[in-house]
Amino acid sequence: MHEQSTKPVVLLIDDAIDIHRLLETRLRAEDLELVSILRGAEGLETAKRINPALILLDLNMPDMDGFEVLRLLKADPQTVDTPVIVISGSDQTADKVTGLDLGAIDYVCKPFNFPELRARVRAALRIHHLMQLLAQKAHIDGLTGLWNRQHFDERLAEEVAACERNDRSLTVVLCDLDNFKSLNDSYGHAAGDAVLQGFSRQLGQLIRRTDIACRYGGEEFAIILRDTDAASAMSLLERIRSELASMVWPRHPERSVTASFGLCDGPPGARNDPNAWVEAADKALYQAKEAGRNRIVVAGGNPGDAMPLAKAG
């Protein structure tokens, strides 16, 4: 299955079976997996489904010409960033200009010069890889290396929808470092940053690979625990809470740092609104603060019923 492959997937859309045979042979030595489609419309559908790293697109096809396929690929948010190399029998300047202006990254003429085609494919795959790294970087918090708020919002919407569809369990946690402002005031912002980084590192080590830890903002963190019941979520959070409380900080060994946690779990059902999950976790976090900090509170009742609450310190 191409989805499980770690090699980049290249989608070839061309109505000529000979071209498929030829490219399969000539690209065999490259570090990629070739998926072959003979029709424009099916190529579009496949591109959306498998999200390839590169599309090689013929222009002259009977059902839908390559320009139209390219136009539709670039009009769809799911495929707009997928690089496309037009492969065409036409070496007309007008066709090259049209293809490139429609958003193709490159234009290669048939018959192929294979060393050149391979080099162009490699160059396009390098660009795709760099674009993916950049996109990922835009979702990472610079100070802590955790995912950022934007990533949390996107992933939460996905996870809540998946949880609804598949009847899976999900736990959303909001966590806030206790008395962080006073720590900053007493020891300076560098000490505060060191705490944020130290806690983030610890968080990253304790959660499972499938969990998603984010810096929600300031000294607030959000964690999405997937396929987790309340009991295992509690035991994980308890470990995070107690390990943080016992950490010794080089800049202020006399002062420990604690955090409060609000947790929303429970069976999916009416909980298909991501905001309701966050509000419920936030309410529980507020209760943890009110009850004296350095503790975990599980949200009660339906998150849809959660009341908006003012922020505690």
By C-beta, is 11 or 177 nearer to Mg ion?
11
Compute the 3-state secondary structure of the chain and give helix, strand, coil in percent, each to the nearest 5: 45, 20, 35
Number of residues that bind Mg ion (CB under 5 A): 3
d(CA 45, CA 37): 10
Quote the least distance from Cβ 102 to Mg ion, whole Å: 17
- Which residues ranging from 239 to 268 are in contact with Mg ion (CB under 5 A)? none
- Which residues ranging from 111 to 150 are in contact with Mg ion (CB under 5 A)? none
- Which residues ranging from 33 to 72 are in contact with Mg ion (CB under 5 A)? 58, 60
By C-beta, is 40 or 192 nearer to Mg ion?
40
Write the DSSP symbol of residue 38: -
By C-beta, is 14 or 159 nearer to Mg ion?
14
Quote the least distance from Cβ 11 to Mg ion, whole Å: 15
Quote the least distance from Cβ 62 to Mg ion, whole Å: 8
Encoded tokens for 140: 């990472």
Quote the least distance from Cβ 61 to Mg ion, whole Å: 5
d(CA 124, CA 127): 5
By C-beta, is 55 or 156 nearer to Mg ion?
55
The window from 11-19, 34-42, 105-113, 171-179 that contacts Mg ion (CB under 5 A) reads 11-19
Q: Which residue is nearest to Mg ion (CB)?
A: 60
- CB-side neighbour CA atoms (13 Å) of 269: 7
Preceding omega of 52 cis (within 30 degrees of 0): no
By C-beta, is 38 or 124 nearer to Mg ion?
38
Helix, coil or strand: residue 77: coil
Quote the least distance from Cβ 65 to Mg ion, whole Å: 9
Quote the least distance from Cβ 60 to Mg ion, whole Å: 4
Q: Name every residue whose Cβ is closer than 8 Å to that of residue 272 and which is 6 or more positions away in sequence.
A: 160, 161, 164
Q: Are 211 and 224 in contact (CB under 8 A)?
A: yes
d(CA 2, CA 4): 5
Quote the least distance from Cβ 56 to Mg ion, whole Å: 12
Residue 95 interacts with Mg ion (CB under 5 A): yes or no: no
Quote the least distance from Cβ 44 to Mg ion, whole Å: 16
Residue 15 interacts with Mg ion (CB under 5 A): yes or no: yes
By C-beta, is 10 or 13 nearer to Mg ion?
13
Which residue, chain included where needed, has tokens 């202006």?
Answer: 101
By C-beta, is 60 or 98 nearer to Mg ion?
60
Encoded tokens for 198: 């130290």
For residue 124, how many other CB atoms are within 10 A of its CB? 22
For residue 309, how many other CB atoms are within 10 A of its CB? 13
Residue 140 bridge partners (DSSP)? 147
By C-beta, is 15 or 220 nearer to Mg ion?
15
Residue 176 interacts with Mg ion (CB under 5 A): yes or no: no
Interface residues with Mg ion (CB under 5 A) are 15, 58, 60
